[in-house]
């Protein structure tokens, strides 16, 4: 499978941002799936985070969303060109 540079960068950003916490065990892997947005097929980035059962704050998810949107800005019609989700393992 071809490496996704943006996905790898975002995985590294999450690792760097959360590595200061003892409970964080890293991003296990990133899947890039296809998301069907009203007939448009766009990348769907799924980040699998190992967080030892702890809950992440909404603030972290908001920060990540801001960074994600810098890499994948919405199009002229404000439709997303990629979407993301965290799954916790």
Q: 7-49 pLDDT, tens per residue?
A: 999 999 999 988 888 888 899 989 999 999 888 899 999 999 8
Token pair listed for 70: 């810098």
Torsion of CA 61, 65, 66, 68, to 10 degrees: 130
Give me the chain's average pLDDT, please. 86
Section 65-84 average pLDDT:
86
Model pLDDT, residue 2: 55
Q: Is the pLDDT confidence value at 1 over 70?
A: no
Range of the domain at 17: 5-88
In angstroms, the CA 42 to CA 87 distance is 19
Query: How many domains does one find in the chain?
Result: 1
> Which DSSP helix (H) or strand (E) runs through 29?
strand 27-37
Q: What is the reported pTM?
A: 0.81
């Amino acid at each position: 499978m071809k490496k996704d540079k943006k996905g790898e960068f975002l995985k590294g950003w999450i690792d760097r941002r959360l590595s200061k916490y003892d409970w964080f065990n890293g991003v296990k892997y990133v899947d890039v799936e296809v998301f069907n947005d009203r007939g448009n097929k766009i990348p769907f980035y799924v980040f699998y985070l190992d967080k030892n059962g702890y809950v992440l704050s909404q603030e972290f998810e908001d920060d990540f969303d801001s960074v994600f949107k810098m890499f994948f800005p919405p199009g002229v019609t404000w439709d997303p060109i990629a979407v993301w989700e965290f799954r916790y393992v």
